[in-house]
Structure 1
Amino acid sequence: MKIKVYGSSCASTRKSRRWFNAHNIPYIYRDIMRHPLSVDEIQHILRLTEAGTEEIISTRSKIYKELDLNLETLPLKKLYKLIQEFPRLVRHPLIFDDNKLQVGFDEHNIRQFIPREERKKLLFESLFSFNQDPQIEGI
């Protein structure tokens, strides 16, 4: 499955897209404000989480506070409907494929989306690279 970046025009989503472009990693972008998530997509994303709904819901968002939600007692079907109706409930961006999910932009963790062979190559190069212009103090 191709990498998907779902978000809005926020800074974190823009950083994520720039990072994928800079590393020549193909991805599919979708503005979830214009094209909300389907129930199947929400379920797929939740299956990839470690902490469930707490991981993807923006509890500090204005809409979350206005709706006065309690994630512990909210039925999942109701949450799906709310996410579709109010996409700002979801933290942005959601970056995922078949097996991995990253919520928000994190320059270290986003590297998990670099193909394994490429990661090995980058690690090898970083381990055995020599500084071409060493700065020797005292000379």
Structure 2
Amino acid sequence: MTITLYGIPNCDTVKKARTWLNAHGIEHAFHDFKKAGLNVDSVDAWLDHMSWEVLVNRKGTTWRGLADERKATIVDARSAAALMLESPSVIKRPVLDIDGTIHVGFSEPLYQQIFKK
């Protein structure tokens, strides 16, 4: 099983997810998309499994900082993908990829359900 956690290391929610995974001995790779960036294939794969409305964090500071004209152009998966590639901070974090199955966000009950043994 290949597990990759995508996010930004200083994000509180990403920190909680990483701490939870480590505390439960779950081996995973961490992909810092601020430093390592994102590629079209990853974003497209996420959008194959998850609605763009879930992936774009419209409550975050990055979204709120966009000009209203720019926000108005985000109307579908294609325009959302362009925004996510242009500004990865707009993505709701963390994104957890387990062998191609995508989960967005973190809560202890969610991770307990995902990793129930």
TM-score tier after normalising by the smaller chain length: 0.7 to 0.9
Partner of 1:127: none
Change (3 A) 1:53 1:3: same
1:71-82 correspondence to structure 2 within 5 Å: 71-72=74-75, 74=76, 76=78, 78-82=79-83
1:98-122 deviations in Å (ceiling 9; x for gaps)? 35322111111112442x6xx1xxx
Question: Which sits farther off after the overlay, 3-12 or 61-70?
Answer: 61-70
Give ranges in structure 1 of 5+ residues lacking alignment.
120-139
CA distance in 2, matches of 1:67, 1:38: 24
1:44-74 CA-partner distances (Å, limit 9, x unpaired):
111221xx100110112233231431332x5
Q: 2 CA distance for matches of 1:85 and 1:38? A: 10
Residues 96, 102 of structure 1: 8 Å contact kept = yes
Q: Which ranges of 4 or more aligned residues in structure 1 deviate by more than 4 Å?
A: none
Deviation at 1:21, TM superposition (A): 0.5
Question: What TM-score, normalized by structure 2, do the two folds share?
Answer: 0.83
Aligned length: 112
Instruction: Give the secondary-structure state (helix, strand or coil) at the position aligned to 1:108.
Output: helix
Q: Which protein has the larger Cα radius of gyration, Structure 1 or Structure 2?
A: 1
Tell me whether 1:88 sits opposite 2:85 in the alignment.
no
Separation in 1 of the partners of 2:22 and 2:77? 38
Query: Do structure 1's residue 105 and structure 2's residue 106 form an aligned pair?
Result: yes
Which position in structure 1 is the counterpart of 2:6? 6
Instruction: Kindly report the root-mean-square deviation, in angstroms, between the aligned alpha carbons of the 2 structures.
Output: 1.9
| Distance in 1 (alpha carbons) for counterparts of 2:40 and 2:97 | 16
Matches within 5 A, 1:1-139: 1-8=1-8, 9-49=10-50, 52-65=51-64, 66-68=66-68, 69-70=71-72, 71-72=74-75, 74=76, 76=78, 78-114=79-115, 119=117
2:94–2:106 Cα contact (<8 Å) kept: yes
How far apart in 2 are the matches of 1:57 and 1:75?
10
- Give TM-score scaled by structure 1 length: 0.71
SS in 1 for 2:29: strand
Structure 1 residues 103, 84: CA separation in 2 closer, same or farther (over 3 Å shift)?
same
Structure with the larger RCO, 1 or 2 (CA within 8 Å, 6+ apart): 2
Percent identity over the alignment? 26
